[in-house]
A = this chain, B = another copy of it.
Amino acid sequence: MASFNSFDIESWERFYRANFVNCLTGFKSVNLIGTVNERGQPNLGIFSSIVHIGSNPPLVGYINRPVSAAPHTMANIQATKVYTINHIDPSFVKQAHQTSARYEAGISEFAEVGLTAEFQENMPAPFVKESHIKYALSLQQIIPIELNDTFLVIGKVISIHLDSEIVSADGFLNLEKAATICSNGLDGYYTTELLNRFSYAKPGIEPEKIN
């Protein structure tokens, strides 16, 4: 087993360190975030820093990089207070990855990469038509993280659209049946296979498989 300390990590070449540290946190939820600016211009970006904040109320967060590196998505959310999060499957992973290119503010990534903007009633932010699991959020709070000029953007889930076949009787979503992928590092995309579910853990009782 190899060991590395702070001095090693600081000495690494910039892209080597970015790959290494981005992988260290493990497999990640990777999604497309859809927004519009005040003039209705759509924007679509890929984000792998989605994090569950709570279920009641249903709160979802994501980390937005410094404004200089990732300006459009958060500016649109601040302007319109709404956004969509769309799961990715293998049939459009290449198009999803391509949204990470640095397009100018006036450009719609939908048109550039070949994905379809889909609009639902009372929601100005675009969904990704090709996505099988998607939801809209209402901005609740943007918390600046001064340590590295990033932001925790927190939204409340206000609508959900998904294939009903993936919903179990207890509310669990069989994401693998919708072929939702996950990511690793900056550019690795993965399919998944269910190992198993376990029963609610209690002290002194061995958990049972509940598949």
Interface residues of A (CB under 8 A from B): 1-6, 9, 12, 14-31, 48-61, 63, 87, 90, 93-94, 97-103, 107, 112, 120, 132-133, 135, 140-141, 143, 145, 147-148, 150, 152, 154, 156-164, 167-168, 170-173, 175-176, 180-182, 184-185, 187-207, 210
Closest-CB distance, A192 to chain B (whole angstroms): 4
Residues of the B chain whose Cβ atoms lie less than 8 Å from the Cβ of A20: 55, 167, 171-173
Pairwise interchain contact B52-A195, C-beta atoms closer than 8 A: no
Partner among B26, B145, B204, B206 whose Cβ is within 8 Å of the Cβ of A30: B26
Chain B neighbourhood of A181, CB < 8 A: 27, 195
CB of B23 within 8 A of CB of A97, answer no
Known: A53-B150, A141-B147, A193-B191. A170 touches B16 (CB 8 A): yes
A89 CB to closest chain B CB, in angstroms? Answer: 10
Determine if A173 and B60 form an interchain contact, defined as CB atoms under 8 angstroms apart.
no
Bound-state Cα–Cα, A148 to B140, Å: 11
Bound CA–CA A143/B181 (angstroms)? 30
B25 near A29: Cβ-Cβ < 8 Å: yes
Q: Are B198 and A57 in contact (CB under 8 A)?
A: no
Cα separation A63 to B61 with both chains bound (whole Å): 10
A24 CB contacts on chain B under 8 angstroms: 58, 60, 133, 135, 157, 160, 173
